[in-house]
Structure 1
């Protein structure tokens, strides 16, 4: 795969490439594993000094399909968007993002099969945005390591925006919109759960009530930080845990037996086209049907 860059100041090739998120590791891969560098279509090395307007082209070698790595598993994918760099899927609830001791049929396995079945040159799976097993909605993959590195920069700069719908339940008062700013830490007695703790890491969640059924509400949520279980912990902290979230005290007697959380919007700037992309996903049937029944009760 080849990528072109234009020098806007005199500098070495490697300095220009660093400005475009080409890491030392990727540059070494270009140098030693079958890639190449050209300046104005003439082969050069990374220390070549560029003039303003010079065109640098790099060829990144295909990523190896390592033996004994992630196993491909056949399953149909709900593809929302795909180009040569990115793959955006609608993840069903009940499916883990990555393999573990407990889970082997995961989104990563399904994507690996999709790459192999379509004979894609790069077959390593790069997850950009991960979702909990019982969370549904939009999940973004990079189709090669360089694309992943470029979106990692956006993650660090907090310019990839994810919005979620959640069904929450509580008996107290909840403002129609607000911010939850509370640090999140891992409790000493658990490797799974998280909690609000003064010694935790800064965490910020914004929300707006979309529909109010009294005790139950549908909220639209924006994450400003990405702590583990952040939405679930924050809403439990203010007395409105997610329906179906038994880990954090959510009600299990109203018909939803998984945390009622769905990533319904994801936006990012495509670093290769410079276009802002905004993608959406409809609510899942279980959450939609719950609200229809709840409205009927009212």
Structure 2
């Protein structure tokens, strides 16, 4: 079957075209205004300090592998790690004690796939890729997603680890949901990759809010909200309170802001400010965006301090704290 396209970019008005700063070819090497070199060297970034994930993705990119494989294999590291209780195996369950996983993936041709509310499979990102490549659809959910995963040969696994089960039993004593900012009981890993051919890709995967209402889905598997890739411009992904990211179609917005000439950090800053404006001064939640443009430039921004992104490129492997709206 042909891959399903999520959407095609709408035509820009002549005024928008005139106002758009031209992007430098990925194959060129020059100096930008910020002093950052643009090159055809590969780049991988991900939300938070998931160094094992970026290391895996870099092992693909540095050997000439493609951006899509790097993004998938990178986030799979965290999906398989039971010590990460916000993603994959060992993720914290919903209020009924069931672990449900969400993920999406998107390539350099705007092909994309997603699964929502998937139970019993460690690697929802890989199931999402199969949705993209093997069906005419973009999204499969719940029992249908699980049936598809089983038919594609993915092994079933009990995702609820002893540690997460004990915490859920303790939570039930009060059954109160009070997220603690930057204590990621509602977090995810989003990864963006650029390969030696100048192709972009991204992946986003999560177990969602801890102790969420059964059936709740956040922004992570929603193309345009938790993740968006434009082959001509760049890519963005989000973390934090998913409901707020969905309301502004946050990752799509950031890519469009980069299309208008903003740097990745400037675009992420504006994305956060749009969310804050809609919340009329409310800041008791965290949102973090990261972005990667076609030139290999990166950036991020968040509401509360302590958010960072991990990056691996020709200059090395590092964790980069981002600027925040609030300073303490």
Interval of TM-score (by shorter of Structure 1 and Structure 2): under 0.3
Whichever structure has more helix as a proportion of its residues is 2
TM-score using structure 2 length: 0.26
TM-score using structure 1 length: 0.28
Whichever structure has more strand as a proportion of its residues is 1
Larger Rg: 1
Structure scoring higher RCO (CA < 8 A, sep ≥ 6) equals 2
